C-alpha cells in the first residue's frame, strides 16, 4: 500500500506538557533548548482533565484546577525563560486528557515533548499511560525525556535503523546532529539464531549474512553522506540476541536517540512494539519517536 503521508521535519514549533514535577521540568528545559535551536516558539501545556470523562467537578473544584494550572504554567514559563531567554513562550490550560491536549496543540507541524513520569495532569507516564498514548497516536515527532540528565554532551545523536522503513528516522537524526554540531551514529541490530541445528550449514559466513541484512540501511547512510557532506556519520552493524538490549546500552553514549515507532497492526495488546517500549523505559537519553504508518508489520525481536 502506498504511503502518502507527508515527510516529517524538525523545523516546526515545539509543544511540551508540564505538571510541575521534576520529570516535567526536565522536559520543559529540553523543549526550550530545542525550540531555541530551531528559532521556533514554545507552547507549554497543562492538562487539567476537568472534561475528560471523570466524575463532574463542582464549580469550586474547577476553579481550583484552573488556579493550580496557572501556578504550574507560570513556573514552567519561568524555567523555559531561564533555559532559552530568546524563545517566545506561550502557555495553555487544556480541560481534556493529556494526549488529546498535546496532540491538538502540536497540529501537523509541531514536535511534542513529554517527561517519563508525572502526577496530576500527567499521571503515570509509564506503560499504558499518557506518554505512550501520545507516542502511539502522534503523527508528528514525539520526544520522551528520561529522568536522568547528562553532565555534559556526548556529541552524538543516534538513530536506530533496521531497513528502508527507517529512512525518515535516519534523516531526522541527521538533521538533529547537524544542528547540534554532533556526530551521527546509525545502529543496525540483526538477530542471528545461535541454535539453528541442521540449518547451520546454510550460513557459510555470518558476517556476509550481517552485511546482507544491513544493506538497505547502508544505502541510506551512503545517501546521507552525499546529501549532507558536513555530517560525520558512522554505521554500526551489531549481531545480538536482543535488539532492545543493544539499543538501550548504546543510548548511554548519546545525547538523543531517534527511532521509528512501529505500531502494531492488530487491535489487541500494546499499540507500540516491545523494542520501542524497552527503549522508552530504559534509555539513558531523550528518545525521539518518528511515527510510521499503521499498515506496516509489527516489529520483532
Partners of 42 in the beta sheet? 14, 89
pLDDT, position 122: 40
Indicate the pLDDT class of residue 91, thresholds 50, 70 and 90. very high
Q: At what angle do helices 130-137 and 274-282 cross, to 10 degrees?
A: 130
Contact predicate 47/73, CB 8 Å: no
Please state, for a pLDDT cut of 90, what percent of the chain lies above it.
Answer: 52
> Can you give the pTM of this predicted structure?
0.85
pLDDT, position 289: 94
pLDDT, position 299: 43
Give yes or no for residue 1 having a pLDDT over 50.
no
Mean pLDDT of the chain: 83
pLDDT, position 65: 85
Indicate the pLDDT class of residue 5, thresholds 50, 70 and 90. low
> Class of the 14-145 domain?
alpha beta
Show the cell assigned to 220: 541510506
pLDDT, position 209: 56
Q: Do domains 14-145 and 156-291 have the same CATH topology?
A: yes
Maximum mean pLDDT: which of 26-40, 155-169, 192-206, 231-245: 26-40
Contact predicate 237/268, CB 8 Å: no
Condensed to tens digits (0 to 9), the pLDDT of residues 6-24 reads 688 999 999 999 988 888 9
Distances (CA, A) of 244 to 112, 204, 232, 279: 23, 27, 25, 6
Q: What is the residue extent of each domain of the chain? A: 14-145, 156-291
Condensed to tens digits (0 to 9), the pLDDT of residues 174-205 reads 999 999 999 999 999 987 654 444 444 444 55
Partners of 291 in the beta sheet? 261
pLDDT, position 94: 93
CATH number of the domain at 156-291, please? Answer: 3.40.50.620
Condensed to tens digits (0 to 9), the pLDDT of residues 252-282 reads 999 999 999 765 554 444 567 788 888 988 8
Instruction: Provide mean pLDDT across the span 54-67.
Output: 77
Residue-wise over 26-41: b if at least 16 C-beta within 10 A, else e? bbbbbbbbbbbebebe
For residue 221, give the nearest of 291, 167, 259, 154 by alpha carbon: 167
H or E element: which one contains 15?
Answer: strand 14-17
H or E element: which one contains 64?
Answer: helix 59-83
Contact predicate 13/110, CB 8 Å: yes
Condensed to tens digits (0 to 9), the pLDDT of residues 41-60 reads 999 999 988 886 656 677 77
Quickly tell me which residue has 482533565 as its cell. 49
Amino acid at each position: 500500500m502506498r504511503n502518502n503521508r507527508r515527510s516529517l521535519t524538525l523545523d516546526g514549533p515545539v509543544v511540551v506538557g508540564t505538571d510541575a514535577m521534576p520529570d516535567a521540568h526536565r522536559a520543559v528545559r529540553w523543549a526550550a533548548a530545542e525550540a531555541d535551536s530551531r528559532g521556533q516558539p514554545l507552547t507549554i501545556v497543562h492538562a487539567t482533565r476537568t472534561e475528560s470523562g471523570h466524575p463532574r467537578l463542582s464549580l469550586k473544584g474547577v476553579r481550583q484546577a484552573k488556579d493550580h494550572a496557572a501556578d504550574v504554567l507560570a513556573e514552567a514559563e519561568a524555567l523555559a525563560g531561564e533555559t532559552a531567554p530568546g524563545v517566545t513562550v506561550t502557555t495553555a490550560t487544556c480541560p481534556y486528557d493529556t494526549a488529546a491536549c498535546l496532540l491538538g496543540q502540536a497540529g501537523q507541524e509541531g514536535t511534542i515533548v513529554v517527561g517519563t513520569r508525572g502526577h496530576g495532569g500527567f499521571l503515570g507516564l509509564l506503560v499504558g499511560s499518557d506518554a505512550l498514548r501520545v507516542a502511539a497516536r502522534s503523527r508528528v515527532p514525539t520526544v520522551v525525556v528520561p529522568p536522568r540528565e547528562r553532565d555534559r554532551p556526548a556529541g552524538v545523536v543516534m538513530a536506530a535503523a533496521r531497513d528502508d522503513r527507517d529512512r525518515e528516522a535516519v534523516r531526522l537524526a541527521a538533521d538533529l546532529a547537524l544542528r547540534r554540531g554532533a556526530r551521527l551514529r546509525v545502529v543496525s541490530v540483526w538477530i542471528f539464531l545461535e541454535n539453528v541445528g541442521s540449518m547451520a550449514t546454510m550460513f557459510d559466513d555470518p558476517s556476509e549474512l550481517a552485511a546482507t541484512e544491513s544493506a538497505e540501511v547502508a544505502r541510506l547512510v551512503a545517501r546521507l553522506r552525499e546529501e549532507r557532506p558536513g555530517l560525520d556519520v558512522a554505521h554500526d552493524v551489531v549481531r545480538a540476541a536482543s535488539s532492545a538490549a543493544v539499543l538501550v546500552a548504546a543510548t548511554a553514549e548519546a545525547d538523543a536517540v531517534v527511532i521509528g515507532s512501529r505500531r502494531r497492526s492488530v487491535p489487541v495488546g500494546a499499540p507500540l512494539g516491545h523494542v520501542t517500549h524497552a527503549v522508552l523505559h530504559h534509555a539513558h537519553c531523550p528518545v525521539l519517536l518518528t511515527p510510521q504508518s499503521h499498515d506496516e508489520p509489527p516489529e520483532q525481536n
